[in-house]
Amino acid sequence: MRTNIEKHIYLPYEVKERITKNAQKVDIHALLKPIDLIDRIKNFADEISHNYINFNLEETLPEIVILHNFPIDFPLPNTPMDHNIDYKQLKFCLYSLLLTAKIFKLFPLTYHGENDDCLYRSVAPLEYAKDDNQSAHGGSRYFPVHMDLPDRPLLGDEVKRIAPAPDYSIFSCIRNPNNIPTDIYILDDILKTLDSSLVDILCSKRFKITTPSSFDVSSRKKEPCVYPLVKKYNEKFICRYDELNCFAVDSEAEHALNLFKSKIDQANPIRISINPGEIMLFSNQKTVHSRASFSPNYDGTDRWLIRLYGIVNSSQKLLKNCLYRNKKHVVV
Ligand SMILES: [Fe+2]
């Protein structure tokens, strides 16, 4: 384990008990549209941050954090085989996700046009998508390396009407019987193996980025915008790389992009496999991630994660500039 990159937090039993009691008391509607609930759990989250987080949240969050010992919903529902999720069965999971966002001073949000505007995204293999390598719902196909929402402003970019990309992805595990990992690559590690002239090219505005297919067709950008693929923010590299949605605009940029991709292919990822009662969060901009192919059974027992996006405080202020609709949770 790389302790400077990957942090583990073990919640004590008494905190788990309090999470259990608090979650039992919360109405499911408050969990699904939690704009008020987010404020109500602030004190509890601050207490956990203060007592159990041994790194400075005000400076910079680690690239990867895994929290252990959250309560597990019981009875554990079957892994869904379609998009109909009965979230009433997942109160501990949803409460724990929101609490984790608040512990790390992240603001939960979702993006209009993706996931039916629902704050939580179910990540489970669906049989109809088994050959789809562009969806988290595929299973038997490798899900290629990417960051989420590559066509959005990154940290430090100017934000006008379009909301920024998420800073963190937060995943809770409902079930993961075969320990299927998420493979995470630290961008700084990849780029230090590339010649600086190639990094300069990756930092230049020579890459077309298309909207991922997880967005409704009507919400995708009509024309792909041209961006730098990589930039420096607070002494670290961040990027908008998505293997399926990035295209170089000239041959020099294409050469740099191909070498960047081959360095990722050669690198050893940090493999994080979470189990029920565990939550993982990782930086969506300082890392890229993928998932290896596996063999789902499509019988209710497959790997099942629930995802929540979070943005840091500084990005939250920028949301004022964006078009968004407030439906008791923030959709931007
Ligand atoms: Fe992703």
Beta bridge partners, 305, equal: 123, 173
Ligand 1 mean position, distance from CA 60 (Å): 22
More confident residue, 315 or 300: 300
- Which residue matches tokens 């300082």? 286
Query: pLDDT of 235-258, one tens digit each?
Result: 999 999 999 999 999 999 999 999
12 CA from centroid of ligand 1 (Å): 30
The residue among 316 and 327 whose pLDDT is bigger is 316
More confident residue, 55 or 134: 55
The more confidently predicted of residues 60 and 302 is: 302
How far apart are the CA of 291 and the centre of ligand 1, in A?
A: 9
State the distance from the centre of ligand 1 to the C-alpha of 18, rounded, in angstroms: 31
Could you give the domains of the chain? Answer: 6-331 (3.60.130.10)
Q: Which residue has the higher pLDDT, 5 or 277?
A: 277
Token code pair at residue 327? 């439906």
| pLDDT tens string 83-117 | 889 999 999 999 999 999 999 999 898 888 888 88
Compute the distance from residue 6 Cα to the ligand 1 centre, in Å: 18
Using the predicted structure, report yes or no on whether residue 50 has a pLDDT greater than 80: yes
CB-based contact 282:289 (threshold 8 Å): yes
- Split at pLDDT 50, 70, 90, the class of 329 is low
% the chain with pLDDT above 70: 92
Burial class (CB within 10 angstroms; exposed 0-12, middle 13-18, buried 19+) of 69: middle
Helical (H) or strand (E) element with 63: none
DSSP-assigned beta bridge partners for residue 298:
none
Which residue stretches of the chain are H helix? Answer: 13-25, 28-32, 35-40, 42-52, 91-103, 187-191, 196-202, 251-266, 313-318
pLDDT in tens, 199-224: 999 999 999 999 988 878 777 777 77
The alpha carbon of 162 and the centre of ligand 1 are apart by a number of angstroms equal to 19
Band of residue 305 on the pLDDT scale cut at 50, 70, 90: very high
Residue type, 128: Y
CA of 283 to the centre of ligand 1 (A): 11
Q: Residue 330 pLDDT > 90, yes or no? A: no
- Going along the chain, which residue ranges are E strands? 6-10, 64-68, 107-109, 121-123, 143-146, 168-175, 182-186, 205-209, 225-228, 230-233, 236-239, 246-248, 270-272, 278-283, 287-291, 304-311, 325-326, 330-331
Among the residue ranges 52-66, 151-165, 237-251, the one predicted with the least confidence is 52-66
Q: Give the pLDDT of residue 302.
A: 95
State the pTM of this model. 0.93
Q: Say how many Å lie between the CA of residue 136 and the centre of ligand 1.
A: 7
pLDDT at 216: 80
Q: What does pLDDT average to over the chain?
A: 90
Q: How close is the Cα of 201 to the center of ligand 1, in Å?
A: 25
Separation of CA 147 and ligand 1 centre (Å): 6
Say how many Å lie between the CA of residue 169 and the centre of ligand 1.
8
Distance 146 CA to ligand 1 centre (A): 6
Cis peptide preceding 75, ω within 30 of 0: yes
Gap from CA of 289 to ligand 1 centroid (Å) = 6
Q: Is pLDDT larger for residue 69 or for residue 131?
A: 69
51 C-alpha vs ligand 1 centroid, how far in Å?
Answer: 31
- Structure-block tokens of residue 272: 């994080």
How far apart are the CA of 316 and the centre of ligand 1, in A? Answer: 21
Tokens 């549209």, located at residue: 33
Amino acid residing at 121: R
Going from the Cα of 33 to the center of ligand 1, the distance in angstroms, rounded, reads: 23
Per residue in 184-200, pLDDT tens? 999 999 999 999 999 99
The mean pLDDT of 139-163, rounded to a whole number, is 88
Residue for token digits 């895994």?
66
| Contact between residue 174 and residue 79 where contact means Cβ atoms under 8 Å apart | yes
User: How far is ligand 1, taken at its centre, from the CA of residue 165, in Å?
Assistant: 12
**Per-residue pLDDT band at 262 (split at 50, 70, 90):** very high
Residue 270 pLDDT > 90: yes
